Structure 1
Amino acid sequence: MANQVLKINDAGWLHAETFRTPMQVGVLANFTMPEDADDCYLEDLVNMWRTHKTFQPPFNYKLRGTAVPRWEVLPDEEIDLDYHLRHSAVPSPGGERELGILVSRLHAMNMDRRYPLWECHVIEGVAPGRWSLYIKVHHSQIDGVGGIRMARRMFTTDPDARGLLPPWAVGTHGVDQSGLPPKEKKTDVAVRSGGGRLGAVTGAVRSTAAIGGALARTYRESAIGSGDDLRAVPYRAPKSILNGRISKPRRFATQAYPMDRVRQVAKAADGSLNDVFLALCAGALRRYLIEIGELPKQSLTANVPVSVRAGDGAKVGNAISFLYAKIGTDIEDPVERVKAIHESTRLGKERLPKAGAGAMDIYTAGLMGPFLGQAMLGVGGIGRPASNIVISNVPGLQETRYIEGSTMEEYYPISLLFHGQALNITAVSNASMFCVGFTGCRDTLPSLQKIAVYMGEALAELEDALGVTWTA
């Protein structure tokens, strides 16, 4: 395959990119070195990785064209590894704050389209015996679920494994070095539902009808309202400080909680883990906005990405759609807030058409068309927002993972921002931990760390209201 034309949804992220809104996603993984690591451990690791000059998709893709963008697969010898792989250190004596500052700056920088659109940073000096790995890739090449599936291939479950391939030599198509047996591939339900060609045609007709009906209903209710206090639709969200024009600098903050703690709360609240996560985000935002005198009377609306990826492969490109949900920032009682969120997300899921992954690309293009159009025209963040915030919960790595004997302790997602959306909160599970990454506009949210801290306090408040006690 010499060239691959991008799907319309993937191309949209390229067309929407500006100097102040780089459209890239990333991950910050924090590791503890093995007990036998010496002072040269990280230097040796980086030097070993530099010897691997074979590249798998998307790490060997270079962008060609503008009106109709396409990926050109570069031969290995044309990729400058020294440009993409960086070895960095935070200022002594190091610390989480210094790491956050460095990653915030790295993530704010646009990637040069003359090169494959990725960077890999090995970072030392955070704490004795600790190091971090920051990787960023353009969002036109991968989404959150695809990134996790690629991570499963990159990192091993064997703490004694050595000499593993670096991320770019694994990619989406390289050797699976996880040490786990391959999962059974799932087939697109819409394609499987019929028998032979007639079934496929019937499924396509039904998918088209479902998509058309869902989009028509959504935009009708966007224009006149849904008539239901808990049913969220695009462009009916209240105006807030989160939804103006943004600047280029970023802030990044993190929080991590034991997964069993969050599950315990979800069980007590008779809701899902995602309901609780949305409620924690809402609790933190409610407190922050009250503190600065900017809480809208109407509930904030969240844009919640939903994976529509068929099978278990981490293919290049995006396979997501979106639902809208009200997150109860107008509700003081934390338990009632969870109940309201549960109902609102149920209504949001009900709106999604029953269609195969390929047809869902068309639905997503229709749903996101107005937003991407605003971004391309440079008018995002001026009128009423489609939603107030993007909140995503991505199923992550279930087992403890390692690279060259180093234990992955946390795995934090870092997302993108755009005019009209100054904050993104994304969670990923990592073994026994629930890791949350907060990506914000530095000027809009100069106290982003407060929102992260308030999320932990919102969790404690919800536990108290439910009569739940967490014991590690």
Structure 2
Amino acid sequence: MGRKLLAVNDSAWLFAESHRTPMQVGMLATFRVPEDRPTFVQDLVARWRECHEFAPPFNYLFHRTPVPSWVELPDDEIDLDYHLRHSALPGAGSQRELGVLVSRLHSAKMDRRYPLWECHVIEGQEKDRWSLYMKAHHSQVDGVGGIRLLRRILSADPDARDMLPPWAIGTRGPDQSGLEVAPKPARVPERAAGDGGSLLVDGIKSGVSVAYSLGKTYVETVTGLGDDDQAAPFRAPKSIFNGRIHTPRRFATQHYSIDRLRAVAKAADGSLNDVFLTICGGALRRYLTEHDQLPGESLTANVPVSVREGSSAKVGNAITFLYATLGSDIDDPVERITAIKASTRLGKARLPEVSGVAMDAYTAVLMLPFMAQAILGVGGRGRPASNLVISNVPGPAEARYLDGSRMEEIYPVSLLFNGQALNITAVSYDGEFNIGFTGCRDSIPSLQKIAVYAGEELDRLEAALA
């Protein structure tokens, strides 16, 4: 059995995990049953049950000692019946009933005696639809890595048949996408003998850049000095999203046309992500006002930023983070997006211009206080590092198929911490911007209202920008 050591940033997700805070990310994709194959779902599950070939990370088992590592299991030691589940909604299940089932499935912590993934095929939905809900541990996959894995699993060809299941593809199996082209290896400049001085200089420059970024971040955190538009860790106000959480989850969805969001972004002279943060800030402002819980200061979002190189779907995480204001203290949507644009610009400027090991080191130190709280189980007792995580992951721009069954929608289902009871993550797909709202059931009553208010805030922003 092969053994692969975990990176520090990846192993932190495993040590931060508890039954209340399972560190897993999920994906809910809904497909349309082909008209000429009414037994499509049953046939697919039967065929998948016969496939007992596993590729990383689906054959990785976590070993904590002597050092945190993945052990690659042989195929005959993996119990497919445990990982592949077939469910059905009662009657012609609605979107609400699907959300209730996914909320329950996502609440449960995965058993570490098995590889850390589950695949749920869900049928019995209205309008001849079926869904695929998959979850995997965050130590193995981040948002961008998950979408790249999805691209390999699905095909752009509606006529593709006999496609392999996800666990047979992984990061090493054949690419089924029909579009993906293996990236050309990066050209490494040849160095003359004795050119180690250049490497040393590059290393020193990276170290200085990382140290400067971290120093600036935490000096502003401690002193409160810096630009008024600058958001910093542990400067967020305490809110109802930042207490201790419990195991049950709620899940809600919302979606918009990407062209609609781009038109708003152009009118506001901002980015699509600025628009996303603005409507989230407005929705949360309205929700908290309704509960008489709106802080006087603006909420702060922790925004993951992908630093994954190339186009691979390799195992592990390749993300860092920036902090941005949500303008929840501002009612006017145009003033709010103006404040958010300034904040995200400053947040991006703070990131060090490094990659690889240096960026991993920057992220590890940046998130050390937050992850230490999570690992020690003391999160949610003091001032939060941020109020919530808001993430935007680019997905396939064209329609994708699984054995000729067209994927209609895809929504991310994310993780929560003590001290962070709400996560909002979006994935773009085939001209649509799909948002998944994951919340702690006990901390956030009527989570669906936030999704509804987000739609109404987009209307307000459009109207204000004419």
Q: What TM-score, normalized by structure 1, do the two folds share? A: 0.96
Structure-to-structure mapping, 1:110-259, within 5 angstroms: 110-182=109-181, 184-185=183-184, 187=186, 197-259=196-258
Render the CA deviation track for 1:128-161: whole Å, top value 9, x for unaligned.
3100000000000000000011111110001111
Whole-angstrom distance in 1 between the partners of 2:88 and 2:190: 54
**1:312 partner SS:** coil
Equivalent AA in structure 2 for residue 44 of structure 1:
D
Corresponding position of 2:337:
338
Render the CA deviation track for 1:32-88: whole Å, top value 9, x for unaligned.
1112122x2111000111111111110000001257310000001111111100000
The Cα of 1:198 is off from its aligned counterpart by 3.8
The Cα of 1:358 is off from its aligned counterpart by 2.0
Corresponding position of 1:359:
358
Corresponding position of 1:459:
458
The Cα of 1:227 is off from its aligned counterpart by 3.0
Distance 1:225 1:277, change over 3 A: same
Whole-angstrom distance in 1 between the partners of 2:183 and 2:403: 28
**Is 2:16 the partner of 1:16?**
yes
Whole-angstrom distance in 2 between the partners of 1:456 and 1:212: 41
C-alpha contact 1:187 1:310 (8 A) present in aligned 2: no
Deviates more, 1:59-68 or 1:379-388: 59-68
Whole-angstrom distance in 2 between the partners of 1:67 and 1:99: 42
Whole-angstrom distance in 1 between the partners of 2:341 and 2:356: 25
Render the CA deviation track for 1:301-327: whole Å, top value 9, x for unaligned.
000000011111111000000000111
Whole-angstrom distance in 2 between the partners of 1:193 and 1:79: 44
**1:205 partner SS:** helix
Whole-angstrom distance in 1 between the partners of 2:201 and 2:177: 40
C-alpha contact 1:226 1:233 (8 A) present in aligned 2: no
Structure-to-structure mapping, 1:321-400, within 5 angstroms: 321-400=320-399
Equivalent AA in structure 1 for residue 238 of structure 2:
K
C-alpha contact 1:194 1:200 (8 A) present in aligned 2: no
Render the CA deviation track for 1:308-365: whole Å, top value 9, x for unaligned.
1111111100000000011111111101111111110000011101111221110010
C-alpha contact 1:186 1:312 (8 A) present in aligned 2: no
C-alpha contact 1:238 1:298 (8 A) present in aligned 2: yes
**Is 2:307 the partner of 1:308?**
yes
**1:26 partner SS:** strand
Distance 1:236 1:181, change over 3 A: closer
**2:118 partner SS:** strand
Equivalent AA in structure 2 for residue 321 of structure 1:
T
Render the CA deviation track for 1:395-430: whole Å, top value 9, x for unaligned.
111110000111111110010000000000000001
**1:457 partner SS:** helix
**1:332 partner SS:** coil
Whole-angstrom distance in 2 between the partners of 1:42 and 1:396: 24
Corresponding position of 1:282:
281
**1:125 partner SS:** strand
Whole-angstrom distance in 1 between the partners of 2:191 and 2:305: 25
Equivalent AA in structure 2 for residue 307 of structure 1:
S
Whole-angstrom distance in 2 between the partners of 1:66 and 1:337: 49
Equivalent AA in structure 2 for residue 331 of structure 1:
I
Unpaired segments ≥5 residues, structure 2: none
Deviates more, 1:363-372 or 1:196-205: 196-205
The Cα of 1:269 is off from its aligned counterpart by 1.1
C-alpha contact 2:59 2:72 (8 A) present in aligned 1: yes
The Cα of 1:383 is off from its aligned counterpart by 0.5
Corresponding position of 2:410:
411
Whole-angstrom distance in 2 between the partners of 1:186 and 1:192: 12
Equivalent AA in structure 1 for residue 356 of structure 2:
A
Corresponding position of 1:42:
41
Deviates more, 1:59-68 or 1:381-390: 59-68
Whole-angstrom distance in 2 between the partners of 1:128 and 1:353: 49
Whole-angstrom distance in 1 between the partners of 2:308 and 2:191: 20
C-alpha contact 2:33 2:41 (8 A) present in aligned 1: no
Whole-angstrom distance in 1 between the partners of 2:190 and 2:267: 37
C-alpha contact 1:193 1:199 (8 A) present in aligned 2: no
Equivalent AA in structure 2 for residue 19 of structure 1:
H
Distance 1:205 1:252, change over 3 A: same
C-alpha contact 2:57 2:315 (8 A) present in aligned 1: yes
**Is 2:266 the partner of 1:267?**
yes
**1:136 partner SS:** strand
C-alpha contact 1:122 1:132 (8 A) present in aligned 2: yes
C-alpha contact 2:21 2:247 (8 A) present in aligned 1: yes
Identical positions, percent: 63
The Cα of 1:185 is off from its aligned counterpart by 4.3
Whole-angstrom distance in 2 between the partners of 1:336 and 1:173: 48
Whole-angstrom distance in 1 between the partners of 2:65 and 2:441: 30
C-alpha contact 2:34 2:40 (8 A) present in aligned 1: no
Corresponding position of 1:96:
95
Corresponding position of 1:105:
104
**1:411 partner SS:** strand
Equivalent AA in structure 1 for residue 91 of structure 2:
S
The Cα of 1:199 is off from its aligned counterpart by 3.2
Whole-angstrom distance in 1 between the partners of 2:208 and 2:190: 16
The Cα of 1:183 is off from its aligned counterpart by 5.3
Render the CA deviation track for 1:225-282: whole Å, top value 9, x for unaligned.
1332210110011111110100110000001111111111111111100000000111
Whole-angstrom distance in 2 between the partners of 1:245 and 1:361: 29
**How many matched pairs?**
464
Corresponding position of 1:470:
none
Equivalent AA in structure 1 for residue 201 of structure 2:
T
Distance 1:186 1:450, change over 3 A: farther
